[in-house]
Homo-oligomer: A and B are copies of this chain.
Amino acid sequence: MTLTPDRLATMANAIRALSMDAVQAANSGHPGMPMGMADVATVLFAKFLKYDPAAPKWADRDRFVLSAGHGSMLIYSLLHLTGYESPTMDDIRNFRQLGSVCAGHPENFLIPGVECTGGPLGQGLAMAVGMAMAERQLNATFGGDLVDHNTWVIAGDGCLMEGINHEAIGLAGTLKLGKLKVLWDDNKITIDGDTSLSTSEDIPARYRASGWDVFDCDGHDFADIERTLAAAAASDKPTLVACRTVIGKGAPNKQGGHDVHGAPLGAAEIEAAREYLGWTSAPFEVPAEIMADWRSLGAAGAKTRAEWEARLAAAPDAAEFNRRMAGELPEVEPIRKALAEWVEGDATVATRKASENWLNVLAPAIPEMIGGSADLTGSNNTKAKCQAPFTAEDYSGRYVYYGIREFGMAAAMNGMALHGGVIPYGGTFLIFSDYCRNAIRMSALQETRAIYVLTHDSIGLGEDGPTHQPVEHVMSMRLIPNLNVFRPADVIETAECWNLALEAAGTPSVLALTRQNLPQLRKSGDMLSARGAYVLRHAEADRKVILIATGSEVELACKVRDTLEGQGIGADVVSMPCMELYEAQDEAYKHEILPHDPSILRVSIEAGTTMGWERYTAASRNGGLNIGLDRFGASAPAKDLFARFGFTAESIVPKILDKLSA
C-alpha cells in the first residue's frame, strides 16, 4: 500500500482530533504531545512497526513504548485506529473516567497493546532498554527465525532530562542494543516554559558520547520522517531520532506554547483546530476512508505473523520457547529435592550467601533466569556459577553487569519481565532501593515478576555506617501494594523465599538479605515460608509471650525465648519472613499463629523501624512491645552496633519482664 503524504496527513489528523476531543471531554489530560507527534507516530505505524492488532501478545512483535506516557491519547488513538480490540471508541469517549481502560496514563494491565505503564518520566525508555536486552537474549538462545524485533520508543524532554536517562542510555550503548530506536519529541517545551529555562544540553552530543547513533528530522515532514526512520532502522547502534515538532500542532493559536502541554484546548480552540486541520467530523467520529486507511495498515501485519507462526510450528524448540514466553516455570522436582536435602543440613551462612548457593541450584534448572547487580556482584552474591556475562559480544549470557545504575537496572528488569521469556533478578544494597524505589513500585503496579536481591539489610552490615544501613527500608517497602517483601531468617527460609518469588508470576519480590552469618534455625518443615509466618519454636512452659521476628532477629528471638523459658515463662517464636503472605492467609491460620488472647504479650523484634509492627502487637497485653531501631545507625562492627542499640537477649528480656509485670 502506498500512502501519500496527503493521506498520511489525514490519518495523523485523526489522532489529533481524537486526542483533543477526548481531553476536552474529560476536562483533563495532555493534548500537546499526541498532536505534536501524530505525524511521526503515523509514519512509524504505517511503515516501520511490526505488529498485528489481532494478536497483541505475538511474541515477535516490535515493542512500542510510549515513554512520554502523559500523551496517552496518542497510543489509545493508534491502537483503536489500527484495529486493536481494545480500546473501543467508547473507552476513548470515557478517557480518564472510572472504569475506562483509557486511563490518564497508559496502563499495561488494562490494555494488551500497551507494552508498559507510562507516566513516571524516564522509565519508559529505561524499560525499553530491558525489552531490547530480552530480545537479544532470546535471539541468541532461539535464533532470529523466532526472535528478531525492534523496540521503538517515543520519549519527551522530561524522559531525557531525568537522571535515569543517563543510566539507561549508558547501559544500552555499552551493550550495543542496535534494535532500540528512540524517537525524541524535540519540541523545546516543558511545563515551566521553554526548555532553555532549565537546560542547555547538547543532547545529540551526549547520546553520541554513550555510543548511540543520532539522526534528526522535521517531525511534520512525512518524507523526511520516513527517510530518517529508515536510517534509524538500518543502524546497528542504539539510535536516537530528534524529531523537531511543534507541541500541540494543529491548534492554531496555542501550538508551540507550554499551555498546550497539559490542559484541554477549550471549545473555541478546538473549533479553530478543526478548521485549521480541515477536520469536519463530530467528536469521536473518524471518516470511513480515513478509518479504512488505518485498518488496512493494521491488517498488513497478519501475513508477517502467519509466516512467523509457521516458523515457530516448525522449530524444534517451539515448546521451550512457548513455555518461557508464557512465563511458566519448568519442572522443579530437582529444586524440591535440593531443598529437602538442605533442611537436613546445618549451614551457618549469611542469607546473601545462602541466596548465592540456592541460585546455584535454581539457575541451572531455570534457564530463563537472568541475573545481575548494580556493580556489587561479589557483595550481593547474585552470580550463579553457570551464568556467563551478557555482553555486546555474547547476548546468550545470563548475567548482566549493570554498572552503578540502580534505577536503570530496576527499570530494565521491568522491561525484561514485560517483554517476557526471561525472569530478571538484580542486586544492590538494600539502602539503595531508595535509588530505584519508583521502579520497584512500577514492578508492583505493572505486575511484573522482577526479583530484587537487596543485601546488607540492617545495621548488621556494620562499619559502613548510617548512609549504608537501612532502617526504614524493609517496612517502607511493605507499604507498596502488590510487592512481596521477604526477609528470611536462615538458609532454609532463603531458599523457600526464592522459590516463592519465582512462583509469583504477577507480583514482584524483594529479598532482604544479611551481610552477616546466621545459623540454620529450621531443621524440618516443607515450604513453611509460604504461609508468611509460622511458629518456629513452640512454648514449653505456660505460654505468656509470643515473639515475632524476621531475618537476622529470629536467631535473637530464639535466644530471648530460651532465657524466658529458663525462668518458667513460656514463649513462642514466630518467624515472619513475609508479612504480605501472612496477611493473605485465612483467619483460622492467622489466629493459630497469633491467637486473639490479650493475656499473651506480643513482642516484635526487627532491626528497623518499629512503626507498622503495632499491627501485630498493640492489641496484646499491656500494649505489646516493639523492639526495633527508630533512629539512624552508626559506624562500627556489627556486634557492637547490635549491643549498642539493644538487640541482645540481655537487653530485651528485662523489657519483657517489665511488661509482663505491669
Contacts and interface: CB of A to CB of B under 8 A. Distances in A.
Interface string A203-235: 101101111000000000000000000000000
A252 interface: no
A641 interface: yes
Contacts of A299: none
Given A465-B107, A635-B103, A644-B98, A162 B161 contact: no
A640 to B, nearest CB: 5
Residue from the set A199, A402, A471 with the largest chain B CB neighbour count within 10 Å: A199
Interface string A154-190: 0001100111111100110110000000000000001
Interface string A365-387: 00000000101111100000000
Interface residues of A, number: 108
Contact of A465 (B103, B476, B481, B632): B103
Interface string A133-165: 000000000000000000000000110011111
Given A205-B208, A432-B120, A434-B437, A464 B404 contact: no
A615 interface: yes
Nearest to A121: B404
A203 B167 CA distance: 13
Given A375-B158, A402-B198, A407-B163, A104 B479 contact: no
A288 to B, nearest CB: 31
A119 B465 contact: yes
B467 A69 contact: yes
A484 interface: no
Contacts of A99: 636
Contact of A478 (B157, B444, B611): B611
A479 B632 CA distance: 11
Contact of A97 (B200, B619, B637): B637
Contacts of A118: 467
Contact of A166 (B158, B165, B631, B640): B165
A195 to B, nearest CB: 8
Residue from the set A170, A198, A641 with the largest chain B CB neighbour count within 10 Å: A198
Contacts of A403: 161, 190, 192, 197-199
Given A69-B467, A200-B210, A481 B163 contact: no
B174 A462 contact: no
Contacts of A70: 464
Nearest to A630: B481
Interface string A402-416: 111111100000000
Contact of A631 (B29, B107, B205, B481): B481
Contacts of A6: none
Interface string A442-478: 1011000000000000000011111110011001101
A438 interface: yes
A96 interface: yes
A410 to B, nearest CB: 11
A104 B468 contact: yes
B467 A634 contact: no
A182 to B, nearest CB: 16
Contacts of A157: 404
A618 interface: yes
A466 B438 contact: no
A633 to B, nearest CB: 10
Given A162-B405, A201-B210, A623 B619 contact: yes
A105 B468 contact: yes
A464 B370 CA distance: 33
A636 B102 CA distance: 10
Residue from the set A164, A203, A408, A631 with the largest chain B CB neighbour count within 10 Å: A164
A198 B375 contact: yes
A634 to B, nearest CB: 7
20 contacts: A96-B465, A96-B635, A97-B637, A97-B640, A98-B640, A103-B635, A107-B635, A118-B467, A121-B404, A162-B167, A163-B405, A198-B375, A198-B404, A198-B405, A202-B209, A206-B206, A206-B209, A431-B438, A434-B437, A479-B609
Which 3 pairs across A and B sit closest by C-beta, in order of nearness? A163-B163, A198-B403, A166-B166
Given A28-B637, A163-B435, 4 more contacts: A96-B465, A197-B389, A200-B211, A432-B438
